[in-house]
Structure 1
């Protein structure tokens, strides 16, 4: 009798899993329609209740959705109606966003969209962190209203993310727009816009056939100095691929001066070790720019250094691009010209090798 009851309950559960919806819709005018929700998070929560291995599709109607959705279920497709028509927007900033992060860290907590799962496809929408960075940047140092930690992440690829695919997506922000700290992600035919370290982190990220748009600062940049930085990789030394940008256009908004933007600088995150808290010496950033067109806003030296936390707690450790894993091949355009910096790393991978390693065991979905 017990065996029969267990088998019967098992068949019921299996039937329930098989009958779970495989598609949901997000729209402002859902009314009482089944499977339709007024927010992206509500649709994601409904999908998460499906414990099967089925792929689930969430279609988002045109509109602006002011929220901070988190993707926790794998095998999810999220599709908008076009990056200029479907917008997910929030304005959290690191200074006050620690409450959104399990470890109370402000920068990841500021993310508008967080992906904390594997096998996720996102397409045809925009994700924006709308914190008013420029207004804050314009305040003088010492002004009590000025926010010191002004990072505002649009997309966080969190630690449990892997095999995440983006197509036709716009990521819009200023400082720290795209934070990659999971495993593998592929971004194509989209836009990433920002100014300070706006593509950064430790994950493996391939950006192809896209626009990398530098945005202005609030004030003018002194001649010869860097106003902005595109990439700030913190790639673990054991990992051969970090941030790779291929066949893309490096553009600028109005107000971004000539020669004011670095391709990358090495980020060594402050990390707690047994003997103290200081910049991680094994986070030897890897960044490659392959066959990219560069406008004249790119600084002639292309790369620059970055300060990190020394063992005494001061921000005096200097990490140089010459000691990082930076590479550039096939650059063209007015920003491609300039003196060659003495980058000593000779282990740069070509795009075919990058794709082979990134897609090992992963077949992205069309």
Structure 2
């Protein structure tokens, strides 16, 4: 029976049958906090009514609606009302869907927003959607229902006791407006559990706001059983955790995984220093348990070495265990940042920074594609190896990117022990390296007697002389990551680490619905957010809403074929076109934004299949573009895949401005991304985290753009040219990764300006040119640079349509 037709006698009958028992039990619980020992805990797979403790009303879908997006309310509890019944479906790690028995849809936080007061809705249940996942936590006489994405709790707006009051998410407190009794088939509330422990599934969640299994990382580690034989994964929600973390020797197989969008979102930090604790005792994190792993988080010691005259060593991370893996982890400090004291450790990607000897110790460590930064203006040695004479392998810096605050000041290292062993191979060395003599002595140990070598390094800081011993090709075959890590047990974490980390991070990474870069400036780009949200599965419906004069968010939930090959759908102002998960496709045609169109978002789509074989390879006869823009304004193109398009994948033409192009996949093509067709110099464009591969020209070609900011892009196998600044363009290139690219970045015209910092070039040829005066992007908007070495793995994992966008 729809909520609008409910009669008072139904509510009275419900009260007569069960209300007395429930109210009496609730009253007793509030008064004494004693739980009825006979009641059962919530059971996955059971269907419950969710009754608010304050109002005694039930969570309700208005009008028994089966429509996605229907907003939830409270209403008087009624018998056999499937629209008030929610099945608790186990999604693992102590997380659940709340699926409505009538509509089959799940309780959902719109867009995964973290805004308190947002009204909850029902939406089609979708795997990987943290905004549909809920945890149950004891609170007073009932349970708090906390959302995994937002960390906020289900509540009745303003604590109303009226039928029809909105059900919202709010900051979790003990207020009874966010306490819910779970009534199974009209029975009593299951007793809330009063204690928590590490789940038998080997998983736990840490959240400083109390929405996880534990509030501190150490509490989660403490709950791991000693002598465990299988892996225990502890996921950590975004936040700063100021604590000391210790993984004991008797607790192997512990994994810490940050669930933020990058390693910067989860920070474990403290400020102990050698002056009080000794160098090795000053660490923020101590790892003693074997087979430890960490990914997508930061270990930091924020003690300031300039604050004291002595005792200023301060360790962020101490590894004193065998077979440890750190994937996409940042380690931050000043002097003595990272101590690898014993065992074998593998660092994949990530970032390490410090001032003096900030990678040091007696253990064996491989730094694979890691960014290493010397932050002191006067420079200093990166490493201080104390490798035992009987050990062949110490530290390997493999395909790393080494940068620093100043030029010609940074040294590779010095021998803490006389037999210290370090190899720097196939790495990109910036001008920060002290080229004439990058090794130095320490405490009577001379660098010449240590085992220090280089092999095939590139960049401004790379050269060969008598102070820079080089491995021969035959010697280099003995100093590979696999050889360093193998040991007697033939340990090989290299392939497994990359696969596991990408999968773990992909499952948890969320994406903002807010445009960034230049699209966020001058009023921002909101697309159709001011209008109605519609879902389309046919070409006619897509055209109807895309060309309307009204604002719309158009969710594309199917593969839509354009009837006429190459036709470009004319999208009008104030529109969002977004694919639902990975299902949204526009095939056999493309999109065009004509003169004056503004405020458009194009996200999470696959666009293409317009190639004409007879027009290969020049693509001059059929002008079929993926997205063409002519004098458009405020456009965000994000997380799309472009495939088999006859002409340009993206053409930004005729003074199109306030444009951001991010996280797109563009490969196997001739003309990828062209910008220009104008004599004016007014456009402002941001291009970041795109994967351009197996491409010929326009990667992009940037003509007469006032401010072009290109960062964290991955260009791979490019035959004609890379980032080309033409006309009067001012182009800033930062932390991009160029692999097998001809002319990675340069000024195609003498009137253009190019600056570059932090990028990596591997097996590139031709021009890497900087010239003229450009601009400082941070003067216009905030942004975060990923280390260049991390970019290939990031964009291979996250470019193109994502399962958790558009749902």
TM-score (norm. length: structure 1): 0.75
Matches within 5 A, 1:1-366: 20-30=200-210, 36-47=213-224, 49-72=225-248, 73-81=251-259, 82-97=262-277, 106-133=278-305, 135-136=306-307, 146-158=308-320, 161-217=321-377, 221=378, 227-252=379-404, 256-268=405-417, 283-308=418-443, 318-337=444-463, 339-341=465-467, 343=469, 349-350=476-477, 353-360=480-487, 361=489, 362-364=491-493, 365=496, 366=500
Preserved contact between residue 95 and residue 147 of structure 1 (Cα < 8 Å): no
Structure-2 residue corresponding to 1:143: none
C-alpha RMSD over aligned residues: 2.2
* Deviation of the 1:110 alpha carbon: 0.8
Secondary structure of the corresponding residue to residue 41 of structure 1: helix
Secondary structure of the corresponding residue to residue 221 of structure 2: helix
- Inter-partner Cα distance in structure 2 for 1:325 and 1:363: 24
Judged with a 3 Å threshold, the aligned counterparts in structure 2 of structure 1 residues 350 and 301 are, in CA distance, closer, same or farther, namely: farther
Name whichever of 77-86 and 119-128 sits farther off: 77-86
* Deviation of the 1:338 alpha carbon: 5.8
* Deviation of the 1:303 alpha carbon: 3.1
Judged with a 3 Å threshold, the aligned counterparts in structure 2 of structure 1 residues 111 and 351 are, in CA distance, closer, same or farther, namely: farther
Preserved contact between residue 241 and residue 354 of structure 1 (Cα < 8 Å): no
Secondary structure of the corresponding residue to residue 403 of structure 2: strand
* Deviation of the 1:323 alpha carbon: 0.8
Summarize deviations over 1:173-207 as a string: whole Å, max 9, x none: 11011111111000011001111001111100000
Judged with a 3 Å threshold, the aligned counterparts in structure 2 of structure 1 residues 118 and 319 are, in CA distance, closer, same or farther, namely: same
* Deviation of the 1:343 alpha carbon: 4.2
* Deviation of the 1:162 alpha carbon: 0.3
Judged with a 3 Å threshold, the aligned counterparts in structure 2 of structure 1 residues 328 and 343 are, in CA distance, closer, same or farther, namely: closer
* Deviation of the 1:353 alpha carbon: 4.2
Preserved contact between residue 242 and residue 270 of structure 2 (Cα < 8 Å): yes
Q: Which protein shows a greater Rg? A: 2
* Deviation of the 1:344 alpha carbon: 9.3
Preserved contact between residue 366 and residue 484 of structure 2 (Cα < 8 Å): no
- Inter-partner Cα distance in structure 2 for 1:180 and 1:23: 27
Preserved contact between residue 193 and residue 212 of structure 1 (Cα < 8 Å): yes
Preserved contact between residue 303 and residue 321 of structure 1 (Cα < 8 Å): no
Preserved contact between residue 238 and residue 265 of structure 2 (Cα < 8 Å): yes
Summarize deviations over 1:108-147 as a string: whole Å, max 9, x none: 11111110011111000011110012x33xxxxxxxxx33
Unaligned runs of 5+ residues in structure 2 are 1-197, 501-807
Preserved contact between residue 265 and residue 303 of structure 1 (Cα < 8 Å): no
- Inter-partner Cα distance in structure 1 for 2:349 and 2:468: 32
Unaligned runs of 5+ residues in structure 1 are 1-17, 98-105, 137-145, 222-226, 269-282, 309-317
- Inter-partner Cα distance in structure 2 for 1:52 and 1:71: 13
- Inter-partner Cα distance in structure 1 for 2:352 and 2:484: 23
- Inter-partner Cα distance in structure 2 for 1:244 and 1:302: 19
Judged with a 3 Å threshold, the aligned counterparts in structure 2 of structure 1 residues 39 and 351 are, in CA distance, closer, same or farther, namely: farther
- Inter-partner Cα distance in structure 1 for 2:230 and 2:485: 24
- Inter-partner Cα distance in structure 2 for 1:325 and 1:352: 12
TM-score (norm. length: structure 2): 0.35
Summarize deviations over 1:184-237 as a string: whole Å, max 9, x none: 0000110011110011111000000110111114xxx4xxxxx31111101001
- Inter-partner Cα distance in structure 2 for 1:357 and 1:64: 34
- Inter-partner Cα distance in structure 2 for 1:172 and 1:295: 20
Summarize deviations over 1:62-90 as a string: whole Å, max 9, x none: 00000110111101111012311000010
- Inter-partner Cα distance in structure 2 for 1:300 and 1:356: 28
Greater relative contact order (Cα < 8 A, sep 6+): 1
Matched residue pairs, number?
A: 291
